[in-house]
């Protein structure tokens, strides 16, 4: 019988390590490969990385199980990407995907009896604290990157050093040991040279200055000592906060130190350990003495043996996907009218497209009662301090953002009143973000971090009605007490998801002329519906008089001219009189209207 072997892969920002080991823990192969941060790799790049690893493995050796701890893996969609790429290389081999923090913690020494949780305290170029209990509960503090956080990291120490030496120079014309050593380390001649250097220095170059700070502190420099004391306090505070989220104040917790700063600077590590034990006397301190890739091997072995692998990542548990036996959405079917689209003349193609679009108003009108109900909810929301949210992926998300962004200039509303949220975030507005729409957790998180509540209305937009990001958001919004609406073009979803959203608006627009391209009829119908939602809601809350936009925000010449015309239509005033009233009111049409009425 061939003894099973297990493949562990740990991907980092600069390189990826692969380790193949047998059941007894004997290494059969270990090698270094290219960067493995999945935030910086597209799917083809991820597959190429895994193929490079597979080619270097011993011939004819097929792992019994694989675990992959990849930097940047934060969400279920991230893990799905990793597993999909791995499955393309190692077919029919069980794969577990997680992040490099998980694998590092798994590689740590065994806890002593009685430890309620383990916390990885990482300080290298960046920093992060990550912990787990035996039951699988996790907590993470830090790890935001050098621009937003990384307290107590090499970069943090280096940047603090630069800031402090120039501060002391400004305040007291004091250029001490630390300042001199920083200049020497970069072959700079005087303090002003630091300005150009730091503007072009990358993260690793700034982090390398931490060694200068440690050397300066060892020579007795007070400024360097103060910087390290501050960094130690910051990192210890993050470690303790992580522990507090996992265990009671009196319970024992194992803190595992990792990263080049902590492992190469024992005095600094000792300083942090002392601060931790001051708050948690029962703290167990250990160092990560072997590569985190060994943790990946351990996870692969655990998976093969059927061990209980706790859920990794967010605590949100999305509801099941739509029944796979549900008929295909009409938006994905072929339209019989356009089977010869590639052969039609341009003129006939135009006729065909516009004829199809002409059917949309009647399809939307069939949903009039539901649309009216939603508008009523939106009006009540606006009148009671609530907000309207649109959520979608791709074209649907962009249309929601478009409608939301038009409200402040058209109706002088605060930007927070109507908000658009798109799967994948800001960059997804102008380019596709792979896998973003497949992650219900991201949708739920978006709702949570906007503090959606009972006064709000949340409209999910998904042409097929299936988008996991949208359903994650709607499920979370419903739990938080908001009114929930789905706009889709798949009538099959109405019965399938009854109760999952308060209202499902599903006009029967039929197949697209270009099969599956929902930016066409589905997109046009979506725009019609969103126009009704916001325009008629604004009418009902007094943003319109007659059919005039009396709350328009005249932010440019065209809109100021429009404001003058609106005021003249309302009052019959001469052009110069209307313009003067608007200028006096700060170009607030309603105020100018009130002023002119009071003087007539």
Where do the structural domains in the chain lie, given as residue ranges?
5-105+294-304, 112-288, 330-540, 557-598
Is 318's pLDDT higher than 60?
A: no
Domain 5-105+294-304 has CATH 3.30.420.40: yes
Say how many CA atoms lie within 13 Å of 587 toward its Cβ: 14
With bands split at pLDDT 50, 70 and 90, how would you rate the model's confidence at 365? very high
With bands split at pLDDT 50, 70 and 90, how would you rate the model's confidence at 112? low
CA-closest candidate to residue 533, choices 406, 409, 430, 445 = 406
What's the burial of 229, exposed, middle or buried (CB within 10 Å: 0-12/13-18/19+)? middle
> What residues contact 123, with CB distance under 8 A and at least 6 apart?
152, 153, 154, 235, 257, 258, 259, 260, 261, 262
Domain 557-598 has CATH 1.10.8: yes
Section 438-467 average pLDDT: 91
Q: pLDDT over 90 for what percent of the chain?
A: 52
The angle subtended at Cα 373 by Cα 371 and Cα 375, nearest 5°, is: 70
Choose the weakest-confidence range: 176-185, 331-340, 491-500: 491-500
Whether 555 and 547 have beta carbons less than 8 Å apart is answered as: no
Q: pLDDT over 70 for what percent of the chain?
A: 95
Which of 168, 251, 332, 406 is flagged as catalytic?
A: 406
Is 557's pLDDT higher than 90?
A: no
CA distance 530 to 405: 12
With residue 527 as reference, give the H or E element that holds it.
Answer: helix 521-540
Name the superfamily (CATH) of residues 112-288.
ATPase, nucleotide binding domain (3.30.420.40)
Section 308-319 average pLDDT: 38
Q: How far is CA 526 from the centre of its chain?
A: 25
- Provide the 8-state DSSP code for 3: P
Is 431's pLDDT higher than 80?
A: yes
Q: What is the pLDDT of residue 476?
A: 93
Q: Do 112-288 and 330-540 agree at the fold level?
A: no
Section 408-435 average pLDDT: 87
CA-closest candidate to residue 432, choices 379, 391, 458, 396 = 396
Section 325-333 average pLDDT: 82
CA distance 115 to 250: 11
Which of 289, 437, 451, 496 is flagged as catalytic?
A: 437
406 is known as an active-site residue: yes
With bands split at pLDDT 50, 70 and 90, how would you rate the model's confidence at 312? very low
With bands split at pLDDT 50, 70 and 90, how would you rate the model's confidence at 571? confident
Q: Indicate the average pLDDT of the chain.
A: 88
CA distance 544 to 523: 27
With bands split at pLDDT 50, 70 and 90, how would you rate the model's confidence at 323? low
List, as one string, the DSSP characters of 117-132: EEEEEEESSSEEEEEE
CA distance 44 to 50: 10
Section 455-482 average pLDDT: 94
Instruction: Specify the CATH architecture of the domain 330-540.
Output: 3-Layer(aba) Sandwich (3.40)
């Amino acid at each position: 019988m061939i003894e099973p072997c297990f493949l562990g892969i740990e991907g980092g920002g600069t390189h990826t390590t692969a380790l193949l080991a047998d059941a007894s823990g004997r290494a059969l192969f270990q090698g270094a490969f290219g960067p493995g941060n999945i935030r910086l790799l597209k799917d083809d790049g991820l597959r190429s990385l895994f193929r490079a690893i597979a080619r270097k493995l011993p011939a004819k050796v097929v792992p019994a199980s694989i675990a992959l701890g990849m930097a940047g893996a934060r969400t279920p969609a991230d893990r799905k990407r990793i597993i999909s790429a791995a499955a393309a290389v190692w077919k029919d081999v069980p794969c577990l995907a997680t992040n490099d923090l998980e694998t590092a913690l798994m590689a740590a020494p065994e806890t002593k009896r009685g430890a309620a949780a383990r916390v990885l305290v990482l300080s290298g170029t960046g920093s992060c604290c990550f912990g787990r209990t035996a039951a699988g509960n996790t907590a993470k503090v830090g790890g935001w990157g050098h621009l937003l956080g990384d307290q107590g990291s090499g970069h943090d120490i280096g940047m603090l050093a630069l800031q402090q030496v120039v501060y002391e120079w400004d305040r007291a014309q004091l250029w001490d040991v630390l300042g001199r050593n920083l200049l020497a380390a970069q072959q700079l001649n005087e303090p002003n040279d630091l300005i150009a250097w730091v503007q072009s220095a990358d993260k690793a170059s700034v982090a390398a200055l931490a060694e200068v700070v440690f050397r300066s502190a060892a020579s007795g420099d007070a400024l360097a000592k103060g910087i390290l004391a501050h960094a130690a306090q910051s990192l210890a505070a993050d470690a303790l906060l992580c522990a507090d989220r996992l265990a009671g104040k009196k319970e024992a917790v194992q803190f595992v130190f990792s990263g080049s700063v902590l492992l190469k600077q024992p005095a600094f590590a000792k300083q942090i350990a002392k601060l931790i034990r001051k708050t948690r006397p029962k703290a167990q301190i250990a160092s990560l003495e072997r590569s985190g890739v060994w943790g990946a091997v351990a996870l692969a072995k655990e998976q093969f043996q059927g061990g209980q692998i706790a859920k990794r990542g967010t605590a949100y548990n999305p509801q099941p996907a739509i029944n796979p036996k549900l008929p295909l959405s009409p938006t994905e079917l072929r339209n019989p009218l356009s089977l010869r689209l590639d052969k039609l003349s341009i003129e006939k193609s135009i006729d065909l497209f516009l004829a199809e679009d002409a059917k949309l108003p009647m399809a939307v009108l069939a949903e009039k009662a539901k649309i009216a109900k939603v508008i009523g909810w939106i009006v009540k929301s606006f009148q009671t301090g609530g907000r309207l949210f649109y959520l979608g992926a791709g074209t649907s998300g962009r249309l929601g953002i478009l409608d939301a962004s038009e409200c402040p200039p058209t109706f002088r509303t605060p930007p927070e009143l109507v908000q658009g949220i798109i799967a994948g975030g800001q960059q997804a507005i102008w380019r596709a973000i792979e896998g973003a729409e497949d992650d219900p957790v991201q949708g739920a998180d978006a709702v949570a971090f906007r503090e959606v509540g009972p006064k709000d209305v949340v409209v999910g937009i998904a042409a097929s009605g299936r988008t996991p990001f949208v359903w994650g958001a709607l499920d979370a919004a419903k739990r938080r007490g908001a009114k929930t609406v789905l706009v889709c073009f798949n009538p099959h979803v109405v019965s399938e998801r009854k109760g999952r959203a308060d209202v499902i608006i599903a006009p029967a627009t039929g197949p697209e002329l270009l099969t599956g391209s929902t930016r066409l009829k589905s997109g046009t119908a979506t725009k019609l519906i969103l126009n009704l939602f916001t325009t008629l809601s604004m009418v009902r809350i007094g943003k319109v008089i007659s059919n005039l936009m009396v709350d328009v925000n005249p932010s440019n010449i065209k809109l100021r001219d429009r404001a003058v015309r609106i005021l003249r239509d309302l009052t019959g005033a001469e052009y110069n009189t209307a313009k003067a009233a608007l200028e006096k009111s700060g170009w607030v049409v309603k105020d100018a209207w009130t002023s002119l009425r009071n003087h007539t």
